[in-house]
Amino acid sequence: MFEQNRVLPRGYTQDSAAFDAGLRKYMLRVYNYMASGVLLTGIVAMIVAATPALYQPIFGTPLKWVVMLAPLAFVFFFSFRIERMSASAAKSAFWAFSGVMGLSLASIFLVFTGMSIAQTFFIAATMFLAMSLWGYTTGQDLSRFGSFLMMGVIGVVIASLVNLFLGSSTLQLVISIIGVLVFTGLTAWDTQNIKAQYAHNLGHETETKMAVFGALSLYLNFVNIFQLLLNLTGERE
């Protein structure tokens, strides 16, 4: 009875209240998927790094190139197949991707100190949460920055692949600085874009797939911010 008779702010209808509640639930689902993916990645990375029988055959052989490039292949797979995948398949692919990313990131535990990894993770998480919150709450339309940010991502990816073979510390420094800026901005842009998708009134199946894909976008932003910051500030063993 109280819910039916409560007074809503002027211009704020029962439909608006239901929409906002649904939007918060949708965004919470996206963040839960993203956080679960990060947790799975961290667990896999730590297990592999702590087990010589696992990391030696990977990082001591050419297999390391497969592990390092596998996450990129997963991203392309997601991009081209998401519309034809079922919701359950999309979730399974996301968990598989998170696990493979854990294999790829295991090397950071072999290169950087545990303290610097923890400190960088905290800084990256703070930056991510601040930009995602701003993207969610701002009334400014961020769509005009989309093309610029995507060009930045493509540039960072290409430069990173080239530097795998060049091994230039100067180029890596430039990539890390530009990459942190690009992925930090992309966090706000993606958050606003994910929020806007909910307004399309999608069915449950499609909504679940879009929540997974949104989680993947935010996951990639966070992981890249973390990795690039670690390259800039991390203390090596």
| N-to-C CA span, the chain | 63
The pLDDT-based confidence of 2 (bands split at 50, 70, 90) is very low
Task: Note the pLDDT of residue 12.
Answer: 53
pLDDT-based confidence at residue 123 (cuts at 50, 70, 90): very high
Q: Looking at the DSSP assignment, which residues form a beta bridge with residue 112?
A: 236
**Which residues partner with 236 through β-bridges?**
112
**Which pLDDT score, from 0 to 100, does residue 128 have?**
95
Calpha distance 65→43 (Å, rounded): 21
Indicate the pTM of the whole model: 0.86
> What range does the domain containing 32 cover?
19-233
* φ, ψ of residue 234 in degrees (nearest 5): -65, 145
Distance CA 96, CA 101 (A): 9
- Please state the domain count of the chain: 1
- On whether residue 11 sits in a domain, the answer given is no
Asked, for residue 14, whether it belongs to a domain, the answer is no
Residue 14 pLDDT exceeds 60: no
Residues 6+ apart with CB under 8 A from 109: 45, 46, 49, 50, 117
Q: What is the pLDDT of residues 165-216, one digit of tens each?
A: 887 888 888 988 999 999 999 999 999 999 888 776 566 777 888 889 899 9
Q: Quick check: is 6 in a domain?
A: no
Per cent of the chain over pLDDT 90 is 35
Assess if residue 7 is contained within a domain: no
Tell whether the model's pLDDT for residue 3 goes beyond 50: no
Contact, 152 vs 136, CB < 8 A? Answer: no
What is 143-173 written as a DSSP string? Answer: GGGHHHHHHHHHHHHHHHHHHHHH--HHHHH
Instruction: Supply the angle between the helices 169-198 and 204-233 in degrees, to the nearest 10.
Output: 160
Amino acid 5: pLDDT:
42
* Residue 9 located in a structural domain: no
The 10s digit of each residue's pLDDT in 94-116 is 998 999 899 888 888 888 888 99
Q: How does 99-112 read in b/e, with b if 16+ C-beta sit within 10 Å? A: ebbbbbbbbbbeeb
In a domain, 12, yes or no: no
d(CA 103, CA 90): 20
pLDDT at residue 226, rounded to an integer: 95
